[in-house]
A and B are shown apart, each in its own frame.
Chain A
Amino acid sequence: MTREGTRIDIVGLTKKFGNFKAVDDLSFSVDPGVVTGFLGPNGAGKTTTLRCLLGLIAPTQGSATIGGHHYRDLADPIGTVGAALEASSFHPGRTALAHLEVMALGAGIDRARCMQVLTQVGLADVAGKRVSGYSLGMRQRLGLAAALLGEPRVLILDEPANGLDPAGIAWLRGFLRSLAAEGRTVLISSHVLSEVQQTVENIVVLARGRLIKQGKLSDLDSGPRGVLLRTPEPEKLRDVLAATTLSSDGQDESGRIRVMGGTPEQVGHAAFVGGVELHELVAEANDLEKVFLAMTASGLDESGEMVGVGADATRVDGHEVDGHGVDATRVDGDRVEEGRAR
């Protein structure tokens, strides 16, 4: 079952609550065919943006559309967009099946479909149990089932991994990827990059209601990386390096010496030739979480200007802010995995 995807467009979106700007002139778009991560710390405005997109709250300015239409104008809302906003929007005294039947009746969807989606998310055995007896993970799955009910082309999930066990997260990852591979638009929000790092291909990063970055996850770069090593003879190493183009540049969090200016092979060779004993030698990884924190921290700065740690973020921004250049049709699992290995 392959269905045509639909693009999400956020244009100049602003939402004020009193004097507080929850979302501030936000523009980005989400393409079909890939899983896009909607990232930012708590309070960044992610949920407000999604609620504007779904017609639940009225934007102060700007627009949020799905395939060019406002949610309210969709002819078949839950058959176009499936959304799971929080794991708590269930009546505790209602069974999972009844919750879905309420929705199916309102949307004119065949009731048999309810049991189908419950089976799909692994809740078939507890379909007749009241939701009050559900764990957070089960509620997440029920939310996902509700989102899938109308076989939508667009899937919007707010913090879907929240409360899932590791097996559940692995299952969700594969599931969302397969939905995207069918050409659907999949947008998932999270405040932890590492949680969705292996699931998403594109990212939209938000802080303080503003766009920090839109692009491919693989574009995130923590900057020049060195070689990390341990040695019982740090002084001797310094002397040896002084004679080469390599230079030591402090230590990482676990006390390993960082050497810049060469590959692990070159550093190892220099140490070997100089007779320095090494206990560990490894290339420094691309620390995405660090980039993410630096980016969003800059957005959290009081003045709102990109200062201090913001220097890093500015550089990342400079890398490529153009999100539309993304090759939206490719979902190449292996390549993506490699690009994301920490």
Chain B
Amino acid sequence: MSNATIATLTRSEFKKISSTRLWWGLLIGVLLWTVPWAVFTAAFAGVNPGTGQPASPPLDTPAAIRSVYATAAFTGAYIFAMILGITGMTSEYRYQTVTPTFLVYPRRQAVVAAKMVAHLVMGLVYGVVGVVSALVSGGVTIVIRGYDLGLGSEGLWSGIGLTILAVSIWTLVGIGVGTLIRNQIVAILVAVFITFMIEPLLSVLANALDYGDLAKYLPTNASTALLSPPDLGFALLDWWTGGLVLLAYALVFAGAGMLLSIRRDVS
């Protein structure tokens, strides 16, 4: 009974996730977000927007294919993966289940590590669901438009693999945010507000002021760079640098979360 290891603690964390309804509610969110994104990306690829702006690359280019299958999946899944991470941590405080959690295993760093492992795996599931739904809905749209499915297109499968990894890593960011802001509603609102509002605004502002070098390092832009998307009108990092930057964010957030969880009084 005494040899509770990360593995047994991780099983406990999986049970926590699977025994409430939130995880599949968020998974439905992934589908509802990814499918229209993939369909619209495929439907309007290469179509002149008529606003004087250049058209996006047409569907017979690898960049367009990647944006239909990989970018759409990432865009649809990463917010929900982050919210899963946030709630994974904050619901412990909201419902005070953190008390039995730390009573079962008082060496807290092991508990937090197990929580991260369980959420990283759930993040992979969210990423796979996002990719599959993008492949199906985007693929159907591409075929309807009379183009080739493009499944053999250059860089597609590595892009899909990186998508799944990136979505998974965002659960870690969520766990970190959830430890820093223990109020569940506030944590979700702040995180979504930052990723949907502050980050794009900062990114536009930085580019307008010729600080585009800084904008590249914002977490969402770094994640996007990982997927090597078509030109978005502003500079992104190399895919691998983007990946490292995202990983750095996750480790900083998760590390802060780990330290806080270990030191903080549970009362």
Contact = CB atoms under 8 A, between A and B. Distances in A.
Contact of A77 (B97, B99, B106, B266): B106
Given A74-B106, A107-B105, A56 B2 contact: no
Contacts of B15: 98, 101-102, 105
B1 interface: yes
Contacts of A101: 15, 19
Interface in B1-40: 1-4, 8-9, 11-12, 15-16, 19-22
Interface string A63-97: 00000000110111111010101101111111100
A103 B8 CA distance: 10
Interface in A94-149: 94-95, 98-99, 101-103, 105-109, 146
A285 interface: no
B103 A78 contact: yes
B95 A89 contact: yes
A134 B39 CA distance: 45
B207 to A, nearest CB: 43
A103 B19 contact: no
Nearest to A74: B106
B91 interface: yes
Given A56-B265, A89-B95, A102 B19 contact: yes
A150 B20 contact: no
A172 B248 CA distance: 53
Contacts of B12: 102-103, 105-106
A48 B263 CA distance: 16
Nearest to A100: B100
Contacts of B8: 105-108
B41 to A, nearest CB: 35
Interface residues of A, number: 40
A54 B5 CA distance: 20
A146 to B, nearest CB: 6
A91 B2 contact: no
A238 interface: no
A88 B22 CA distance: 20
A79 B106 CA distance: 13
B96 A88 contact: yes
B39 to A, nearest CB: 33
Contacts of B9: 106
A85 B22 CA distance: 26
B102 interface: yes
26 contacts: A56-B102, A56-B265, A57-B266, A71-B106, A72-B106, A72-B107, A75-B2, A76-B2, A77-B106, A79-B2, A83-B103, A85-B99, A89-B99, A91-B91, A91-B95, A92-B95, A98-B19, A102-B15, A103-B12, A103-B104, A105-B12, A106-B12, A107-B4, A107-B104, A107-B105, A109-B1
- Kindly list the 3 A-B residue pairs having the minimum CB-CB distance in the complex, ordered from nearest: A106-B12, A98-B19, A57-B265
Interface of A: 47-48, 51, 54-58, 71-72, 74-79, 81, 83, 85-86, 88-95, 98-99, 101-103, 105-109, 146, 150
Given A86-B96, A105-B11, 12 more contacts: A58-B265, A72-B107, A77-B104, A78-B104, A88-B96, A89-B95, A89-B97, A94-B20, A102-B100, A105-B12, A107-B4, A107-B105
